[in-house]
Amino acid sequence: MYWSEIGEEPQIKRAGMDGSSRKILVNQGLGRPTSIALDQLSWKIFWSDEKFHCIGSANLDGSGISMMQLTEIKNPFSVAVFEDEIFWSDLKTRTIQRVEKMTGKDRAVLIKRSGQPFGL
């Protein structure tokens, strides 16, 4: 299982389903990782960082960390991955958006609502 922790020392961790073999995957460069999503096609974990206004990714072993900072990412809350795209809900713009996960190109607003979109 994988989870994120926020607070003074934000981290993304993994462990066996019984809680054994805990490992810190990411513990540097995180602000407030509010959501995570696993991508089994690319063997990566993605997260939304509400504090740094970005979407991050890393290999499932914690290597290869990268951050996608687009001007359109204002306040990402929830993140999801499907095939070649990343989807996120943005609390500031009240939208659900998508972008190509490897290039950060072809961004599109899928839904814009007067209410807050939270989880995906």
DSSP one-letter string for the chain: -EEEE-SSS-EEEE--TTS-S-EEEE-SS-S-EEEEEEETTTTEEEEEETTTTEEEEEETTS-S-EEE--TT-SSEEEEEEETTEEEEEETTTTEEEEEETTT--S-EEEEE-SSPP---
Q: What is the mean pLDDT of each run of 10 residues along the chain (120 residues)?
A: 95 97 95 95 95 95 92 92 96 94 94 85
| pTM for this entry | 0.92
What pLDDT was estimated at residue 57? 96
What residue ranges define each of the domains in the chain, with the CATH number in brackets?
2-112 (2.120.10.30)
- Are the C-beta atoms of 93 and 104 separated by less than 8 Å? no
